[in-house]
Amino acid sequence: MIASLGLAGACAVVEPPPGGPIDITPPHLAGTDPDSGATGLGELKTIRLTFSEKMDRTSAVTWLHFFPDQRIYKTKWHGAIEAEVILEHPLSPDTVFVVEIAADMRDAHKVKGMKSRRFPIATADSIPTGSIQGVLVMADSAVTNAVVELYDIPPDTLEYFQQPLLRRTATNESGAYSFEWLPVPGGPWLARAYADPDHNLRPGDKEAQRLLPDTLQLTIDNPLVSAGVTTLYAWNTPGRLLVGPFDAPPHGETAMAWTLAVSDEDTGWVPAPEDGSRNPIFFLDPAGGSIIGEVKPGLSRAILFIDVDGDSTFSGIPDTLLAFIPDSLRTAGADTTAEARADSAGVGTWFLEPWLMIEGIEVDPGMQADLEIPVLPYSLTPWTPPEPVPAAADSVDMDIPEAPKEGE
């Protein structure tokens, strides 16, 4: 028997009369067999789904999902309204399953559904009642087209998304979401949220996404957990680094830093002066608590330097200003040929200010990450000052004959 799940509006007309309206009504799930919430199902191998109108008769592999995952063997359509889905193997015993119908399933006129739908069935004797609820916002507005995924906490050798997806849910018109039918006790779990404007149930490279900040866990005393309000940020929103304590420069000089994004074609950083016009430079407090802002999302490197000349830029300085640097550091990696050339030209040896680089920094859009400054010697890079701009040529007085007067 097919159980009704309720109609979300009038059924779309598959073949409108001439001059009639175009079908724009999204299809929806009208009934299921077994019923939503059915328990004690035994070795179930077939599920029947009834829709509100004739559908695009594609394989259920493209639009039907199970949690835990089940492999689909065949899809039989009956009149383009009822889909009979046959699994490769019967459902495992004593297990709760969540069945998901994706929103991008289309009717016979290629109109997509409005929202994905989910319902529980069980070979166990009951459906658990644990629940996690939360809200997603972005730029102070509710995110109405987002997906939230639930994962086990991974071992150290895996990323969380390399594990099986435990559950998936979607936000409603107010940005609220909920995971229902969770075991109690259960967890701890990790949750990832992402905007899903195309309803394909996958995070795109340029769609807002983030890992929720806290793990989620249900207990006997707390079977309903609030994940609170989580903010999503656009994919290109800059993040920031919180710098911990580090060794201060030896003579009280100012430490400063900036960050550089690491691209797929990155070949490393070539030391060169930086005045902050392309990459903002930030002051650092060795006691900790400094913020490096405007960090591009993704992989970055940070360049920290000692502002020897006090001009708030990463610049070249003569070696006379580096007297406080030990000889072992001051000459480390120096280009002796460049030094000899500079000495012979009478300009002395110049270096870029002492610097160190920290690689492999990962920052999520709009988020903050911690940055620990390692105890490393600073590097010195020989630098050739630019040629001075020639002075403007002196003006030359020239005798210019006067124009003849009228009548002459």
pLDDT of residue 345: 40
Report if residue 404 sits inside a domain. Answer: no
Looking up tokens 């006090």 gives: 310
- The verdict on 321 and 331 lying in the same domain is yes
How does the average pLDDT of the chain come out, rounded? 86
Number of domains in the chain: 3
Q: Say yes or no: 112 and 191 in one domain.
A: no
Is residue 70 located within the same domain as residue 145?
no
Nearest to 367 by CA among 240, 235, 201, 226: 240
DSSP per residue, 314-342: B-EEEGGGGTTS-HHHHTTT--HHHHHHH
> Average pLDDT in the 53-82 region?
95
**243 and 354 assigned to the same domain:** yes
Are residues 140 and 118 part of one domain?
Answer: no
Q: Is the pLDDT of residue 198 over 70?
A: yes
Judgement on whether residues 77 and 143 belong to the same structural domain of the protein:
no
The pLDDT tens digits for 139-180 are: 989 999 999 999 999 998 999 989 999 999 999 999 999 999
Q: Among residues of the chain, what percentage have pLDDT more than 90?
A: 68
* Higher pLDDT among residues 3 and 381, named by residue: 381
Helix (H) / strand (E) element for 205: namely none
- Condensed to tens digits (0 to 9), the pLDDT of residues 337-352 reads 444 444 444 456 899 9
Alpha-carbon span 96 to 121, nearest angstrom: 6
pLDDT score, position 148: 98
Cβ proximity of 330 and 322 under 8 Å:
yes
Confidence band of 199 (pLDDT split at 50, 70, 90): confident
pLDDT of residue 49: 97
Burial 329-359 (b: 16+ CB within 10 A, else e): ebeeeeeeeebeebeeeeeebbbbbbbbbbe
3-state secondary structure at position 104: coil
Region 44-58 average pLDDT: 95
Residue 405 has pLDDT above 90, yes or no: no
Task: Verify that 190 and 245 share a domain, yes or no.
Answer: no
3-state secondary structure of 132: strand
Residues 117 and 161 in one domain: no
Residue with tokens 């591009």: 296
For residue 94, the domain's CATH number is 2.60.40.3710
On whether residue 38 sits in a domain, the answer given is: yes
Picking from 126, 161, 178, the residue at the C-terminal end of a domain is 126
For residue range 104-150, list pLDDT tens digits in order.
Answer: 888 899 888 878 899 999 999 999 999 999 999 999 899 999 999 99
Alpha-carbon gap, residue 215 to 328, rounded angstroms: 48
pLDDT tier for residue 404 given thresholds of 50, 70 and 90: low
pLDDT the model gives residue 334: 45
**Residue 362 pLDDT > 70:** yes
pLDDT higher than threshold 90 for residue 12: no
Q: State the maximum Cα–Cα separation within the chain, in Å, rounded to a whole number.
A: 125
pLDDT above 90 for 402: no
Q: Return the higher-pLDDT residue of 280 and 200.
A: 280
297-356 pLDDT, tens digit per residue, is 999 999 999 999 999 999 999 888 776 555 544 444 444 444 444 444 445 689 999 999
- The 3 state secondary structure assigned to 231-261 is ECCCCCCCEEEEECCCCCCCCCCEEEEEEEE
Helix, strand, coil share (%) of the chain residues, nearest 5: 5, 40, 55
Tell me: pLDDT of 25 over 50.
yes
Domain around 334:
239-371
Task: Report percent pLDDT > 70 for the chain.
Answer: 83
